[in-house]
Amino acid sequence: PPEGMNAPEYPAIVDFFRGREIFLTGGTGFLGKAIIEKILYSCPDVKRIYLLLRCKRGVQVADRLVKFKNNQIFNRIREKDESLLDKVIPLAGDSMCLKLGLSDEDVKRLENVSVIINSAASVRFDEPLGQAIFMNTRSAQELVLIAEHLKNLKVLVHISTTYCNPSYSVIEEKIYPPLASWREAIKLAESLDRDTLDILAAKYMDFQPNTYTFTKSLAEQIMNEYKDRLPIIIFRPSIITPSVKEPFVGWVDNFNGITGILAVGGSGLTRVLYTSTETTSNFQPLDVCVRSLLVATWKRAVKPSPEMTVYNCACSKEKEVSGKDLFAYCYALAAELPFNDMVWLPNATLTSCYFFYKICLFLLHVFPGALMDSVFRLLGKKPIVLNIMRKFHFASSSLSYFMFRDWLFVNDNCFDLMNDIRNEDLKEFGFDFYETINMWDYMFLASHGGRKFLLKQKDEDLPRAKRNYRIFWLLDRGLKLIFAISVIYYLINSIYPIWEEKFVK
C-alpha cells in the first residue's frame, strides 16, 4: 500500500490548489512573481489569487496590474491560456501601512482565503531602520491580525531569509532568541523621527550588519508568537539566483546576488573587489525556491502539525561556491558570453587587505572614472562612470560583512520535502535538480539569462560582442606590455649608471 504522503487520504498538490483562494503580499517582487506564475501554470484550477498592490509614483493600481500581467515572466501563461491571468485580483493597499492599507471592503473579500503567502519585504541593506521596521516587521504583524479572522485558513507561509540570524555560524531550522522586542521596535518606529532612530540604530540592533536582517529576525518572532493560533510555517531562502528551467532557463529580473556580480564584472568596470577568496556563498535557484515553497505549503495544509516548521531553503555545503571560484567563473564567462557594451576587458583584483583595497580603489576606479567622465563631458554626454563606481563601492561595502564569513545552513526539513512529494507531482514540483547540475553549466545559463532578460541583449549580437572582447584583450595585453617595458627601461636607466660608476670605473 502507498506510504507517507502518497497515501490516498492526501490530495495531490494540483488537487489541493483546485478552487483555492490565495492572498499574496510582495507579489511584484522577484520571488512573488515566480510564485504566481508557477501556481497559474501548474495549478490552473486555482480560483483566484489576491495580490496586494500599492499606487506607485502616481501609477494607479489598475494600471500597475496591466503592466504586471504584461511582464515577460508570464509568457508561457499567455501561450497556454491568457485568461488564467484574470485570476489575479488586485487589492489596493500598502505593506507599510496599518491593516496593510486595505479597506474594510477588501478585507471582507479575503474571507474565503485558505492560503496566505507573505513575500513582502524591503531587501535593501541600507534602508532606514524605521522604514525597514514598517515594511519587514509591522507588516507581518498586520498580516497575522487579518489572518486571525479567516475561518478557512489552512496555511500561512512567512518568507524570511537564512541570513536573519547572522551572529550564529550554524543556522538551524528553528527560531532563535530575539534580538529585541518586536513590539518595542514598532513603537519606536512609530514614535521617533528618522534622524533620532538612525542615531540609535546600531546599538539598538545589537550591531547587526544591516536593518534588513534585523527586521526580518523580528518578524520571525511575531510568527513564533502566533504559531499556536495560526497554521504558520517559515520559509527561509538563501541567496536567490536565476532559475534552472522555470519559467525559462536562466530567468531573472534584478541585479541582486550572483547576477549583479556577473553583470558588473562582465562590463569591465570593476577592477578591484574587497572580499575573501576562501569564504563561500550559498545560492538557490529561483525555481527550486518556488517549487519547495509550494510543496511546504501543501504539506502544512493537508497534514496539520502542532509545531511551526522552519525550512532553510539552502543548497548543500558541497554546492556552495568560493569567492575565488565565483570570480573565475565570472571572467571565463565574460569570454564566452561577452556583453555588448564593455568598457574594458573584464578582470579584477580580489583582496582581503582593506588598505590595499583603498589604494586600488583610487588608482583603478576613482582616477579612471574621473578621466572617462571628463571625456564624456567633452563629447557633450552625461558623465555617469564615477557615479556607477561610487554606487558599486557602497554596495560592496554593505556586503562586506557577508564576504568574510561562512555559515552552515542546516536544511534537513527542506530536503525532506522531496520525500513527501507524491509520485504524480514529481515532474511539476520536484526540486532536487540544482544539486546535480554542473556548476559551470549553471553559471553559463545564469549569465546568459542576465544577458537576455535583464540587459535585453540578443544572441545575434554575440559575434560582434566577441569581436569587441578580442579587441579589448589585445589592448589590455598591449598596454600591460608597454607598462612592463617602461618599468624595466626606467629601472635599467636608473640602476645601470650607479652600477657602472661603482663597479666598472
Question: Is the separation of the CB atoms in 322 and 277 below 8 Å?
Answer: yes
Q: Is residue 117 part of a domain?
A: yes
In a domain, 101, yes or no: yes
Residue 206 belongs to a domain:
yes
225 in any annotated domain: yes
What length is written for the chain?
A: 505
What pLDDT was estimated at residue 14? 96
CA 462 to chain centre: 27
Residues 478 and 428 both lie in one domain: no
Same-domain status, 236 and 302: yes
113 with 186, same domain: the answer is yes
Q: Is 163 helix (H, G, I), strand (E, B) or coil?
A: coil
Which residue segment(s) compose the domain that 495 sits in? 464-504
Calculate ∠ Cα 57-60-66, nearest 5°. Answer: 110
Q: Do both 420 and 500 map to the same domain?
A: no
Query: Which residues contact residue 227 at a Cβ distance below 8 angstroms, ignoring those fewer than 6 apart?
Result: 307, 308
Same domain, 62 and 120: yes
pLDDT tens for each residue of the chain, 505 residues long? 456 777 778 899 999 999 999 999 999 999 999 999 999 999 999 999 999 998 877 778 888 999 999 999 999 999 999 999 999 999 999 999 999 999 999 999 999 999 999 999 988 888 999 999 999 999 999 999 999 999 999 999 999 999 999 999 999 999 999 999 999 999 999 999 888 888 888 888 877 889 999 999 999 999 999 999 999 999 999 999 999 999 999 999 988 777 877 777 788 888 888 889 899 999 999 999 999 999 999 999 999 998 999 999 999 998 999 988 988 898 899 899 998 888 888 888 889 998 999 999 888 888 888 888 898 888 888 888 888 778 777 777 778 888 899 999 999 999 999 999 999 999 999 999 998 899 999 999 999 999 999 889 999 999 999 999 999 999 999 998 998 999 888 888 887 677 667 766 5
Q: What is the DSSP letter of 87?
A: G
* Residue 137, domain member (yes or no): yes
- What is the reported pTM? 0.92
Q: Which of 386, 417, 433 is the last residue of a domain?
A: 433
CATH number of 291's domain: 3.40.50.720
DSSP string, 349-405: EEES-HHHHHHHIIIIIIHHHHHHHHHHHHTT----HHHHHHHHHHHHHHHHHHHT-
The full 3-state SS of 215-259, as one line of letters, equals HHHHHHHHHHHHCCCCCEEEEEECEEECCCCCCCCCCCCCCCCHH
d(CA 241, CA 163): 15
Residues 62, 90 contacting (CB under 8 angstroms):
yes
Residue at 230 is within a domain: yes
221 and 147 housed in the same domain:
yes
Asked if residue 273 belongs to a domain, the reply is: no
Q: Structural domain tally of the chain?
A: 2
Judged by DSSP in three states, 25 sits in strand
User: Does residue 256 sit within a domain?
Assistant: no
The answer to whether 258 and 80 have CB atoms below 8 angstroms apart is no
Joined grid coordinates for residue 64: 500597475
User: Which whole-number Å values give the CA distances from 485 to 183, 245, 250, 288, 344, in the listed order?
Assistant: 66, 50, 44, 52, 21
Q: Which residues contact residue 210 at a Cβ distance below 8 angstroms, ignoring those fewer than 6 apart?
A: 125, 126, 398, 401
Is 226 in the same domain as 302?
yes
How many whole angstroms from its chain centre is CA 153? 29
CA distance 213 to 165: 7
Looking at residue 260, its pLDDT comes to 78
Q: Do the strands 232-237 and 155-159 form a parallel or antiparallel pair, or are they unpaired? A: parallel
Cβ neighbours around 361 below 10 Å, total: 18
Rounded distance between C-alpha atoms, residue 420 and residue 305, angstroms: 15
Residue 247: is the preceding peptide bond cis (ω within 30°)? yes
